[in-house]
Amino acid sequence: MVQDSTFQDSPQRRRFELTVGHETAWADYVREPGLLVIRHVYAPPPLRGTGASDRLMSQVAATARQEGRRIVPLCGYAGSWLRAHSAHRDLVAG
């Protein structure tokens, strides 16, 4: 069963957050002209294996597309997620 989740951009922390129940997965970012650099994706242990990071990255990709930015995935998870989702491969910079 997938719990309700809330996605938000937290610019003061420079991260996207997906809150599920009382836990929050997040992706650190830096916005540069035309780019969204994803430095690190983290899910707390209770959210691992639940698909939370996948849902988080889906929202990150949607945000990048909406803002007209390409993604620089410095984080291994972000890079592998983008390679695994052909609908978003066009967002990878370089």
Q: What is the pTM of this model?
A: 0.93
Q: What is the DSSP string of 21-62?
A: TTEEEEEEEEEETTEEEEEEEE--GGGTTTTHHHHHHHHHHH
Counting Cβ atoms within 10 Å, is residue 54 exposed (0-12), middle (13-18) or buried (19+)?
Answer: middle
Angle between helices 76-84 and 52-67 (to 10 degrees): 80
Whether CATH 3.40.630.30 fits 5-91: yes
How would you write the pLDDT of the chain (94 residues) with one tens digit per residue?
456 899 999 999 999 999 999 999 999 999 999 999 999 999 999 999 999 999 999 999 999 999 999 999 999 999 999 999 999 999 999 8
